[in-house]
Structure 1
Amino acid sequence: MDADKPTGAVHIEHAPPATSHQNRTAPGDVKLFEDDGDVILIPTPTTDPRDPLNLPSWRKIMLVANVSVFAATATLMASSFGAILPTVQQSYPGDSRTNDLVTYPALFIGLGNFIFVPIAHAVGRRPIYLFSLILLVAGCIWCAFSKSLTSHIAGRNIMSLAAGQAEALCPIMVQEVYYLHERGSKIAWFCAAQVLGTATLTVASSYLASNLGWRWWYGIFAIINGACLLMAAFAVPETRFHRLKASLINPDDASGKPGDNEPPAVTARKRPPIDYENYPSRTFSYDVALFHHRPRWQDAINCWKQMVQVILFPDILWLVFCSGMFLGIFVIFGAVFASVLLHPPYNFKPEYLGFVFSGQVVVSMVVVPAQGYLSDYVVKLLSRRNSGIARPEYRLVPLALPFVVGIISTVIFGQACQYPYEWPWSAIVVTFNAEFFGFVGIVVASFTYAMDSYPGRTDAILVVLCFARGVISFGVSYGALDFVHKVGHDGAFNICAIILGVLSAIGIAVFFFGKRIRQWTEPWATDKPKSELTAHV
């Protein structure tokens, strides 16, 4: 039996009589707990051995580990170039275009998401993931042997197209093998591993570039990504699996009443055994196969169409601006900090710049409990208080911490850069990493909120979040150095802090009116004809 073809028909109820906004449910509202406290498994797992949800825990961990290595190295190569930028600038003396080596990758990361994730929707996750690793290795080799700054910039742009898959495709693959009640912690673990790996490798990068040269810096990471590619060829299975639309929520509606003619909910303690008689077993040849079905290009076209629709959802648009602004500010931090620390009164040596990123090790340790487990805990706590009904807005509660940290860090960073003789070097280093914590926190919350709110539009929304934040961050950071020179570090970063403050205030409105937003966007968030939309989503 083809694992990519769902069996049975999707149960669609005709719209009941109109109800008030307060009583009517919305996409993303699901019953997460049975009356006895047992956790309902969402999405509902099938009895097919090839269902990614049925993978053993060790296989899931291997998958997360592999995509985390790819994400860490890809993020390092594309986004953490500031640590070795002074060394690279020595090869292109006096050429102001060296700043393009830092700013353009953010744009091409977004373009990579826009192009490749919809294609992964059509051909599968595995072939696009392996292709991205190949492209990353090729980009590293290109940059290592580049003969001019123009060629170097072009090679980094191509490499960044591949690195974009660390932004959206990797989280999609992670969430496709875990359940709703696990997503917060698992996505946080992925982000933490990515941050920890990037921070560790960035510290090493300044020494590698100073002692071996920046060309060998590219060469070493080409070798590392080549090894990751080899492991992925055997260890990363296809995670896309076509399911009944009803399985993306649960057989019970959000009022807790069983739907008509629906089987009982599948829970952690009441889960049917795997059916090896009616389904083919998961084999080694199946796992290493590049394609598992014929390309469905209409799926890619639908994904691009859905991207245009979902970016107009007020809650998604808000998250896009939040993550784009946080990333843009961090890119500006990365372009500014080195020049400040290398000059008096700090007089850092170039090989010490990598240690600035070591604070991200702390970020990786903090983000899992602060944004992962806390998110899952808040969802479970508030769901129990809401008669077992989980609402996506619960994922936004832990966002208060990233906003507070981000705003304070941005102000202090600007002051320290403007008046270095009045601030210790730690004011720059600590706030640099604290702002990064704010960005990672936004990423974790936006991913989990989007997955919970619009389960039928996860791919499109994650692409929009990653693509649009890349474009926004490029717009924020491109030409930022000239703006900093005009108004000063303190003036520029005070403006950034004010924008973050406005976005945080909008977030309060999203939390309280999120349900109505999801009700309003329901016709574009599901595949049901408008005439057949049900109040029980």
Structure 2
Amino acid sequence: MDLKEEKPEKAHGAGPDAEARSPGEAARDDNIDIEKAAQSNVGSAHSELTLEEGTSADKDKEQHDSEDPNIVDWDGPDDPQNPMNWPAKKKWGVIAVLSLVTLITPLGSSFFAPGVPQVMSAFHEKSNLLAALVVSVYVLGFAIGPIIIAPLSELYGRSPVYNGSNVLFVVFTIACAVSTNMNMLIAFRFLAGCAGAAPLTIGGGTLADIMPREKRAGAMAIWALGPLLGPVLGPICGGFLTQAKGWRWVFYVLAIFSGFFSLLLFFTARETYAPVLLARKAARLRKETGNQNLRSIMDDNTPPREVFLRSIVRPMKMLFFSPIVFLMSLYVAVNYGILYLLFTTITFVFEDQYHFSAGSIGLSFLGTGIGMLAGMMVLGVMSDKIIKKHMAKGNVKPEHRLPFILTLPGGIALPIGIFVYGWTADKHVHWVVPIIGTAFIGLGNLSSMMTIQTYLVDAFTLHAASAIAANTILRSVFGAVLPLCGLSMFDKLGLGWGNSLLGFLSLALIPVPVIFRVYGEKIRTNPKFQVKF
């Protein structure tokens, strides 16, 4: 990190201007409050916590910290080293490059899906289960990777984790390209998925580090396109590439683009995690001044090993013991699993039912992509407008990320799309109609994923990476497991009733975001639902 030299007397940032708080300082103070609340009740942590809502012990500690000359803080409310105060151009540059990296890793999940028949033929395999596994095992890696990635990012910062994971992703992708048997290919696909989970896991945390609440949804919309649009673009490009060059070149192309975007991220992005930045600042000041008592305002003297172990446990505790994280993650996971089941089976449906060629099969994914783009444009604009409206009234809270006008249309669009796609394909209706159905599926998936992830980031700002990791773990498990039973399910039930089963499941989950829009604040602040670490 390139940080300006600070004078020791400014270490704690408690100058005469400490009362005039900019949005950047306010966000930092919010994070400190969240950190304190998280020690006893992560379920209630959100960016609007104030000292009045904390305990008297919290108040005494903050007052002591503000008067302690050994506490290292930002240099006033407009400190340019605070990521919240970075110029807009720098922030959006980081988001743009991060979005490209976040596009590539999900792209790998389905890029060679049209080439699966070639893979099966090359390795002399005939099992439908293996055909689905070679695609979905990559997504299983998305479930395992966050368990290590999230705590590493909270211990060492975002940048080292991004850069290390990107290198591993390129290496494992090349290993997939040179695989000589199915077992080798499946193993390296899994490892590539583990490494590729980094931008999915901590990308939301990076956005929380640098973007104020009123601009977060727009940034989240751009970033969220990767996890959803990547798997859609993959088969479109992969179909023609596989037909022209064979399945191995799918991995070579993926490695080339991943390497290029990884280099862009390495040279353009800077560390954004405030606790790590302040810890580095404190370490530098200790070296410059010889005062070994200097410490970050966010440092609670917990040993790194304990921090790491606690950070490994935190996503799983949030997933299983926070009703907000569990139910919201379950809602996204079911929708995501349905989407990946669609990605796994759509090749066979349009090849068998509509006799598409290997190249043109990829075009059948266009409907899903168009639905996602439409959802992104609407949600990205409307969500931030709603937040700004509430900010003007002075009563903004995380639940305002779940307005009925956004959650209900998206929730209803998904089952509608599933029913239309399933029954029209079953009855051999013209191919354009099931593709229109997939557009509704894309719209519903983006709506649920974007609104819920933005809500989780706002509700768990400092530990946003852990909340998103919990979400990523569960949805990746569903994304990996559901496709394994997809072909067998459709063989037994047919496309009509098989998809109807999925449609009824998504219908049953529509009330989840509605419940948290109405009762979310009460649940977050209820001691019975608070998670202790």
Whether the TM-score (by the shorter chain) exceeds 0.5 is: yes
Counterpart contact for 1:313–1:521, Cα < 8 Å:
no
Q: Which is bigger in relative contact order (C-alpha 8 A, separation at least 6)? A: 1
Counterpart contact for 1:140–1:221, Cα < 8 Å:
yes
Q: 1:378 aligns with which of 368, 386, 394?
A: 386
Q: 1:77 aligns with which of 108, 118, 124?
A: 108
2:475 is the counterpart of 1:469 = yes
Deviations 1:17-76 (A, max 9, x none): xxxxxxxx96437399xxxxxxxxxx9994333222222222222211221111111111
Find the counterpart in structure 1 of residue 340 from structure 2. Answer: 331
Counterpart contact for 2:157–2:276, Cα < 8 Å:
no
- C-alpha separation in 2, matches of 1:232 and 1:512: 40
- C-alpha separation in 1, matches of 2:190 and 2:303: 27
2:69 is the counterpart of 1:60 = no
Counterpart contact for 1:307–1:464, Cα < 8 Å:
yes
C-alpha distance 136-324 of structure 1, shift in aligned 2 (>3 A): same
Q: Secondary structure at the match of 1:239?
A: coil
2:67 is the counterpart of 1:30 = no
Paired letter, 1:482: S
Find the counterpart in structure 2 of residue 506 from structure 1. Answer: 512
Deviations 1:69-98 (A, max 9, x none): 111111111245433333433323442112
- C-alpha separation in 1, matches of 2:33 and 2:336: 42
1:481 deviates by 2.1
Paired letter, 1:314: P
- C-alpha separation in 1, matches of 2:503 and 2:488: 18
1:207 deviates by 1.3
- C-alpha separation in 2, matches of 1:350 and 1:204: 11
Counterpart contact for 1:328–1:473, Cα < 8 Å:
yes
Paired letter, 1:328: G
Q: How does 1:290-369 map to 2 (within 5 A)?
A: 296-311=304-319, 312-344=321-353, 346-369=354-377
Q: Secondary structure at the match of 1:424?
A: coil
Q: Secondary structure at the match of 1:442?
A: helix
2:162 is the counterpart of 1:129 = yes
Report which stretch shifted further, 56-65 or 152-161: 56-65
Q: 1:210 aligns with which of 230, 243, 246?
A: 243
Q: Secondary structure at the match of 2:425?
A: helix
Counterpart contact for 1:456–1:526, Cα < 8 Å:
no
2:256 is the counterpart of 1:223 = yes
C-alpha distance 66-11 of structure 1, shift in aligned 2 (>3 A): closer
2:417 is the counterpart of 1:399 = no
Q: TM-score, normalised by structure 2?
A: 0.77
Q: 2:453 aligns with which of 425, 438, 447?
A: 447
Find the counterpart in structure 2 of residue 192 from structure 1. Answer: 225
Report which stretch shifted further, 462-471 or 85-94: 85-94
- C-alpha separation in 2, matches of 1:171 and 1:194: 12
Report which stretch shifted further, 494-503 or 139-148: 494-503
Deviations 1:411-469 (A, max 9, x none): 1222133222xx11123323234313322222211111112222243122111000111
C-alpha distance 86-46 of structure 1, shift in aligned 2 (>3 A): farther
1:129 deviates by 0.4
Q: Which one has a larger percent helix, Structure 1 or Structure 2?
A: 2
1:472 deviates by 2.9
Counterpart contact for 2:368–2:438, Cα < 8 Å:
no
Q: Secondary structure at the match of 2:271?
A: coil
Deviations 1:335-386 (A, max 9, x none): 2211121124x110110112123335424532333222211122233455xx
C-alpha distance 147-7 of structure 1, shift in aligned 2 (>3 A): farther
Report which stretch shifted further, 497-506 or 127-136: 497-506
- C-alpha separation in 1, matches of 2:6 and 2:146: 28
Deviations 1:498-518 (A, max 9, x none): 121111123322221111101
Report which stretch shifted further, 328-337 or 94-103: 94-103
Q: 1:168 aligns with which of 201, 205, 212?
A: 201
Find the counterpart in structure 2 of residue 119 from structure 1. Answer: 152
1:156 deviates by 0.7
2:425 is the counterpart of 1:429 = no
- C-alpha separation in 1, matches of 2:271 and 2:480: 32
Aligned residues: 456
C-alpha distance 91-29 of structure 1, shift in aligned 2 (>3 A): same
Deviations 1:271-325 (A, max 9, x none): xxxxxxx999xxxxxxxxxxxxx99343332222322332222222111111110
- C-alpha separation in 1, matches of 2:80 and 2:87: 10
Paired letter, 2:161: I
- C-alpha separation in 1, matches of 2:180 and 2:446: 35
- C-alpha separation in 2, matches of 1:150 and 1:44: 55
- Structure 2 segments unaligned to the other structure (5+ residues): 15-28, 38-42, 51-73, 279-284, 288-301
Q: Secondary structure at the match of 1:478?
A: helix
C-alpha distance 308-99 of structure 1, shift in aligned 2 (>3 A): closer
Paired letter, 1:177: I
1:333 deviates by 0.8
1:2 deviates by 8.7
Q: TM-score, normalised by structure 1?
A: 0.77
1:195 deviates by 5.0
- C-alpha separation in 2, matches of 1:158 and 1:477: 19
Counterpart contact for 2:208–2:461, Cα < 8 Å:
no
- C-alpha separation in 2, matches of 1:499 and 1:194: 22
Counterpart contact for 1:45–1:51, Cα < 8 Å:
no
2:56 is the counterpart of 1:48 = no
Counterpart contact for 1:415–1:489, Cα < 8 Å:
yes
C-alpha distance 244-234 of structure 1, shift in aligned 2 (>3 A): closer
1:392 deviates by 1.5
Paired letter, 2:197: G
Q: Secondary structure at the match of 1:334?
A: helix
Computed over aligned residues only, the root mean square deviation of the Cα atoms, in angstroms, reads 3.4
Counterpart contact for 2:159–2:271, Cα < 8 Å:
yes
Find the counterpart in structure 2 of residue 242 from structure 1. Answer: 275
- C-alpha separation in 2, matches of 1:196 and 1:474: 17
